[in-house]
Amino acid sequence: MPIVDTAIYRDGIRSTEPVTLDQTFEELRDHGGFAWIGMYRPTEDELRSVAVEFGLHPLSVEDALTGHQRPKIERYGDVLFIVLRSARYLDAPEEVEFGEVHLFIGPNFAISIRHAESPDLGRVRKRLQSAPELLALGPHAVLYAIFDEVVDEFTPVILGLENDIDEIEGQIFDGDSAVSKRIYKLAGEAMAFQRATHPLVDILNRLEEGYEQNQVDVELRRNLHDVLDHCLKAVEKSDSFRALLQNALTVQSTLVTQNQNEEMRALSKASIEQGDQVKKISGWAAILFAPTLIAAIYGMNFKFMPELDWPLGYPFAVGLMAVSAVVLYVVFKKRDWL
């Protein structure tokens, strides 16, 4: 069974470690205290067996089995069902990995169900066990500690995303063609980070509204309020990341458009210059064509060509060639073809 750790705590001390759920339930009934059961990716049968022992609502169990839930808080009688989205920054691939943890907080039990590698609930348990005065406050102390761990893990994510965005700014102005793809990828991570952080504020506010009803200790309330402050800062950062990436995408699109316009201008200039050269060549070809045509006609030397016996035939032909060439030159010059 994927129960990572089970223990019963009394007065902030780890008292017993039941082997089975039946033993856990009997120990609570006979000797009091509260149980903390940590599970990792349980199957349907495994989770339903826990649900039967602790009377968990079927709808909350169904959500815990389904996974991929948005962060939320729901109350079923005297049991709180809370979904948290965790996040951690992976340095090697430079990306954010998101996890999910479900919590059932009852009068004498805390059940944590982890669906990913983060958050590290083993570390949370050790930290709590080293602070008996906090653990003595009951299942809500477990809720606080897990909440605090999830929000603390946002800090490396924020630093990692800040660094990635700084790198993107350099890529944009260096003309890196791969920057658009990276912006879209980071924008997706920023949106997922928003979805992980924004609902936590509402969850903490709703928890605060129920402090009196659940008789939450004053010190624990202060700790949870401190978590809320850190969560608000994470929310502000996630919003700023979204805005920065939108601006980066706008700047990138503008620079791409400018480059395309410059290329079009360069192509247009080259086309115009090429057209000018074609006009010059065509003009000179036309100027040379007229004398060539005249010379070709008179060079056929047919016997019955009247101009062959005319004394002025040769100078007339040469003059006609010269005049046609000059006239065409003047016409093309006026039209800026030469």
pLDDT at 305: 67
Q: How far is CA 25 from CA 9, 10, 15, 47, 111, in A?
A: 13, 15, 14, 15, 13
pLDDT tens digits, residue range 293-304? 777 777 766 666
How many Å apart are CA 69 and CA 46, to the nearest integer? 20
125 located within any domain? yes
pLDDT score of 19? 83
Q: Does a structural domain hold residue 304?
A: yes
Position 141 in a domain: no
User: Among 112, 134, 156, where does a domain finish?
Assistant: 134
Q: Which of 77, 112, 134 is the last residue of a domain?
A: 134
Total of domains in the chain: 2
Q: Predicted confidence band at 261 (pLDDT cuts at 50, 70, 90)?
A: confident
**What are the pLDDT digits (tens) for 37-70?**
999 988 888 898 899 889 999 999 999 988 788 9
Q: Is the pLDDT of residue 1 over 50?
A: no
Expressed as residue numbers, the domain containing 130 is 1-134
**Which of 112, 130, 126, 137 is CA-nearest to residue 36?**
112
What CATH number should be reported for the domain holding residue 288? 1.20.58.340
Q: Of the candidates 176, 35, 153, which has an alpha carbon nearest to the alpha carbon of residue 84?
A: 153
Residue 311 has pLDDT above 60, yes or no: yes
120, part of any domain: yes
- Tokens for 130? 């080293």
Which positions ≥6 away from 186 have C-beta within 8 Å? 161, 164, 165, 168, 241, 245
* Domain contains 31: yes
Q: How far apart are CA 245 and CA 132, in angstroms?
A: 45
Q: Percent of the chain scored above 70 by pLDDT?
A: 94
Question: What are the respective helix, strand and coil percentages of the chain, to the nearest 5?
Answer: 65, 15, 20
More confident residue, 111 or 321: 111
Model confidence pLDDT, tens digit, residues 10-20: 999 999 888 88
Q: pLDDT for 170-224, tens place per residue?
A: 888 777 777 888 888 888 999 999 999 999 999 999 888 877 776 778 888 888 8
Residue type, 316: F
Residue 221 lies in a domain: no
Q: What's the CATH number where 102 sits?
A: 3.30.460.20
Q: Which is higher by pLDDT, 1 or 290?
A: 290
d(CA 290, CA 239): 76
Tokens at 309, concatenated: 């016996």
Domain stop point among 134, 149, 179: 134
- The one-letter amino acid code at 211 reads Y
3-state secondary structure of 68: coil
pLDDT beyond 80 at 310: no
Any domain includes 157: no
Q: What's the order of all strands across the beta sheet hosting 13-16?
A: 13-16, 3-10, 34-40, 109-114, 95-105, 79-90, 72-76
Q: What is the mean pLDDT of residues 237-259?
A: 83
Task: Identify whether 107 is part of a domain.
Answer: yes
pLDDT in tens, 93-145: 889 999 999 999 999 999 999 988 888 899 999 999 999 999 999 999 999 99
Q: Which residue has the higher pLDDT, 306 or 315?
A: 315
